[in-house]
Amino acid sequence: MTPSPTSSATSTSSRGDEAVAAAAAAFHDLHRGPAPLRLVNAWDALSARVFALAGAPAIATSSFAVALSHGYDDGQHVPWSTVTATVREIVGATDVPVTVDIEAGQGSTPDAVASAVADVLDAGAVGINLEDGVPGSPGELFDEQAQADRIAAARATADRHGIRLFVNARTDVFFGAAIPAEDQADAVVRRARHYVDAGADGIFVPGLVDRAVLEQVTGAVTEPINVMLWPGLPPLAELTAVGVRRISQGAGTFLVAAGQLEAMTRAYLEGEPDQFGGEATPAYHLLGDLSYR
Whether the Cβ atoms of residue 100 and residue 120 lie closer than 8 Å to each other = yes
By percentage, how much of the chain surpasses pLDDT 90?
A: 86
The mean pLDDT value of the chain amounts to 93
Between CA 51 and CA 60 the distance in angstroms is: 10
> Which CATH number does the domain housing residue 246 bear?
3.20.20.60
Residue 153 amino acid letter: A
> Residue 261 CB: number of other CB atoms within 10 A?
13
207 in any annotated domain: yes
- Burial (0-12, 13-18, 19+ Cβ within 10 Å), 241: middle
CA distances from 118 to 7, 92, 158, 249 (A): 27, 18, 7, 25
1 in any annotated domain: no
151 in any annotated domain: yes
Number of domains present in the structure of the chain:
1
Between CA 177 and CA 139 the distance in angstroms is: 4
240 in any annotated domain: yes
* pLDDT number for residue 8: 33
Reply yes or no on whether the pLDDT at 188 is more than 80. yes
- Residue 101: give the domain boundaries: 12-290
Closest alpha carbon to 99 in 78, 77, 120: 120
Banded model confidence at residue 278, pLDDT cuts 50, 70, 90: low
Reply yes or no on whether the pLDDT at 221 is more than 60. yes
Closest alpha carbon to 158 in 127, 204, 189, 196: 127
2 in any annotated domain: no
5 in any annotated domain: no
Q: How far is CA 236 from the centre of its chain?
A: 19
52 in any annotated domain: yes
Indicate whether this model's pTM tops 0.85.
Answer: yes
275 in any annotated domain: yes
* pLDDT tens figures, 249-269: 999 999 999 999 998 888 888
* pLDDT number for residue 235: 97
* pLDDT number for residue 118: 98
Between CA 155 and CA 149 the distance in angstroms is: 10
Closest alpha carbon to 171 in 206, 219, 218, 221: 206
